[in-house]
Copies of this chain bind each other. A is one copy, B any other.
C-alpha cells in the first residue's frame, strides 16, 4: 500500500508478510560498517524470540539509516504497532527499511497506515508485498518452485548499490516446509553464499541489505539437502532477475570464470570483472572489448597465466594462448548486440576453480538514475 513515504504516484511503499503463527526464521545482514537502524532491531528481536517470527513489515522510500537513536526507536515503534494489531509479542515482528539514507521515518504516516495494511492481508499478498518493497526496480521480483508437498518462494528487491556480501537488496525466502530453528542459520548462509553473494550491479554495498529465510510447517518436513537445492534454485533465479533489472541495464551479463586456482578465486575474479566500469560500459556499447575483461582479471590479485588464458564472448574465443583473434570479434559483437542475456568468459589457465557471477551493463541511464535519485 501507499503510506506516503514515497511521493504520490511513485508506487506502494509499505508491505507486510504474516504467518498464521510464529515460525522459525533466520537472516543474513549487510557487512557494511554502517547499518540501517532496522538491523540492530531485527537482531535483537530474533534473539529475544528464539528465532520465531510472526510478521515482517517493510517500508521502501526511506532506509532509516544514519538516523541515530531516534532511528532505532522508530524501527521498534513500527514493529510494536504491527504486533499490537496481530496480538503477538513485539519481538516476533521484523521491521525492515530500504530507500534513501539519512532521513527520519515519517512515523505519523506509517502508524496511520498500518491498521489498513494489517486488515488487507490475503493469500495473494506476496505479489503486493513484492511491489511495496521496490525502490528503483522496474518490476516486482517473485520466484517459486513446488516440490514434494510444499513449495519454496522467493521475493526480492534491488536494482542498484548491489554487490556480494549483501547490497541494497532485500530478499525473502519462504517455504511451507518445517525447518528446525537450529538448522536455519546455516541453511540461510549456504543459500545466500551461492546466490545473493554472486551478483553485483555497481560494487556499492548498502547498509540495509537483509535476506530472511522463513520456514512454515503446513507441508511437513523435507530433507535439508533437497530443500537447500530448491532454495538455491529459487534464489538464483531471483538474483538473475535482480541483475537483469540493474539500474539502467540493457543486458544481463553472466561472467563465467574457469581455470582458477580455487572456487573462491574464481568468484573473486568474477566480481572484479562484474564491477569494472570499463567492462560494463563496453557491453552497453556492444563492444566486444575483451582486453578490458583480461585487464580487469589482471588486477584481481589472484593467480593467472596470461599466456595460457582464454577469453570468450558468447561462443567466440577472442583471446587464446597469448594471442588476439580480431577476426572473431564480429561474431562476438553479434552476440552482444542480439541477445538480452550475454556471456563473458575467462579461463585463467591455472587450475579448475570455477564460478558464475551475474551483473548488468552500465548505461548512461545508470548515471541519470543515480544522479537524480533524490530529486
* Residues of A participating in the B interface, judged by any CB pair closer than 8 Å: 31-35, 63, 65-69, 100-104, 160-161, 202-207, 275-278, 281-282, 284-285, 287, 289-292, 294-300, 304, 306-307, 318-319, 322-324, 326, 362-368, 370-375
Given A278-B204, A282-B373, A326-B103, A33-B367 contact (CB < 8 Å): no
Pick from B102, B295, B307: contact of A324, CB under 8 Å:
B102
Tell whether, in the assembled complex, residue B102 and residue A204 are in contact, meaning their CB atoms are under 8 Å apart: no
29 contacts between A and B (CB under 8 A): A31-B299, A32-B299, A33-B304, A34-B295, A34-B298, A34-B304, A34-B306, A35-B306, A65-B291, A65-B295, A66-B291, A67-B323, A101-B289, A102-B290, A104-B324, A161-B278, A161-B295, A204-B276, A204-B296, A205-B295, A277-B277, A281-B367, A281-B370, A284-B371, A287-B372, A362-B367, A363-B367, A363-B371, A364-B367
A313 to chain B, nearest CB (A): 12
Secondary structure type dominating chain A contacts: loop
Copies assembled = 2
Pick from B33, B34, B295, B375: contact of A101, CB under 8 Å:
B295
A75 to chain B, nearest CB (A): 15
A79 to chain B, nearest CB (A): 21
Q: Which residues of B have CB within 8 Å of A34? A: 294-295, 297-298, 304, 306
A276 to chain B, nearest CB (A): 5
Q: Which residues of B have CB within 8 Å of A318? A: 102
Residue of A35, A276, A295, A324 ringed by the most chain B CB atoms within 10 A: A295
Q: Which residues of B have CB within 8 Å of A69? A: 322
A289 to chain B, nearest CB (A): 6
Q: Which residues of B have CB within 8 Å of A319? A: 66, 102
Tell whether, in the assembled complex, residue B370 and residue A204 are in contact, meaning their CB atoms are under 8 Å apart: no
Given A34-B295, A298-B33, A102-B285 contact (CB < 8 Å): no
**How far is B321's CA from A67's CA once the two chains are assembled, in angstroms?**
10
Q: Which residue of B lies closest to A363 (CB)?
A: B367
Given A34-B306, A292-B101, A298-B207 contact (CB < 8 Å): yes
**How far is B291's CA from A299's CA once the two chains are assembled, in angstroms?**
29
Q: Which residues of B have CB within 8 Å of A276? A: 203-204
